[in-house]
Amino acid sequence: MRTAIISDIHSNLEALEATLQDIATHNVGGVLCLGDVVGYNTNPIECIQLLRKHNVLCVAGNHDRAVARQITTVDFGYTAARAVDWTRRHLDADALVYLSALPTDLTIPNTLIAVHGALHPTTGRESVRLDTDERRRLSLSALSAHPSGARLCAFGHTHQLGIYELRGDVVRELTGDRVFLRQDGWYLVNPGTIGQPRTSDLRATYIIFDSALGELTTHRVVYDTTAPFMKSRKAGLVPIWAAFPQPVLDAMMRLPTPVRRSLRRGLEVFKPGTSR
């Protein structure tokens, strides 16, 4: 079976439409979304409707659960929390029911497990970032012990494309747009982000998993990035750091994650004319 894996749409309708159109040119049996359907951008209802129209399987991301009031935004940055509040006020009852019903994980027996953040926590897994070797090893250990028999766990949340392999006691990152899985390996797979890029490459990314061939292929999709940005700016959802020149943003992305988060939160909190 060939499955397209997407993640972190974040209410970016233009990106989602372009991605689903691209997926339609490939021979896939279904589409799996790893959560964060909403947040940051201004088309949450339209994105939910599009996922339902295409029968996309979906797990809950931390933004989805926050909008549905299943978790708080106490650990969210200023921009993220503001977007959650904006999204709540612009969703209808049907969309809220949809988000509330999303599970925190999905399992296709003997094939894959889908989560938003991480596999290893028993609670709060939608908010844990697999952005360190230690955390990835914990989720790989949980995968190897999982009763489903799956050897692949698909995750999102970091907005960073990545494929990680555990063989023996060694964890390594695999590179390249075409990766073959080994029978004695365990894998963590992040397709990157559809609608909220955090690198200089603004294209949407997704991965197709061919379970019969044991193959992962990475795909990148160009879309009109100006349209969602302008809509978000008009709605007051664009963070202050988005106005920095691209070389500055690239330099920020190379900073350690805790430093980068603190810097962004500081810029947002002290934005002129706003308060936390």
Can you give the CATH number for the domain in which 142 is found? 3.60.21.10
pLDDT of residue 242: 56
Average pLDDT over residues 187-201: 95
C-alpha–C-alpha distance, residues 21 and 18, integer Å: 5
Residues 135 and 13 in one domain: yes
Residues 45 and 152 in one domain: yes
| 98: pLDDT strictly greater than 60 | yes
| 273: pLDDT strictly greater than 80 | no
Residues 263 and 177 in one domain: no
Question: Measured between alpha carbons, how far is residue 144 from residues 137, 147, 188, 244, 275 in Å?
Answer: 10, 9, 11, 43, 46
| 130: pLDDT strictly greater than 80 | yes
Residues 191 and 77 in one domain: yes
Give residue 175's domain range.
2-221
Residues 133 and 258 in one domain: no
C-alpha–C-alpha distance, residues 35 and 5, integer Å: 11
Does 270 reside within a domain? yes
Residues 130 and 248 in one domain: no
Asked if residue 12 lies in contact with residue 226, where contact means CB atoms within 8 angstroms, the answer is no
Number of domains in the chain: 2
Residues 72 and 199 in one domain: yes
SS (H, E, C) 129-158: CCCCHHHHHHHHHHHHCCCCCCCEEECCCC
Does 188 reside within a domain? yes
| 244: pLDDT strictly greater than 90 | no
Does 238 reside within a domain? no
Average pLDDT over residues 229-258: 70
Does 135 reside within a domain? yes
Residues 250 and 211 in one domain: no
Residues 211 and 270 in one domain: no
Does 143 reside within a domain? yes
C-alpha–C-alpha distance, residues 16 and 47, integer Å: 7
pLDDT of residue 118: 98
Residues 22 and 66 in one domain: yes
pLDDT of residue 276: 32
Asked if residue 150 lies in contact with residue 107, where contact means CB atoms within 8 angstroms, the answer is yes
Question: Measured between alpha carbons, how far is residue 124 from residues 40, 107, 147, 193 in Å?
Answer: 21, 18, 20, 21
Residues 275 and 183 in one domain: no
pLDDT of residue 271: 46
Q: What is the pTM of this model?
A: 0.87
Average pLDDT in the chain: 91
Does 228 reside within a domain? no
Does 230 reside within a domain? no
Average pLDDT over residues 142-157: 96
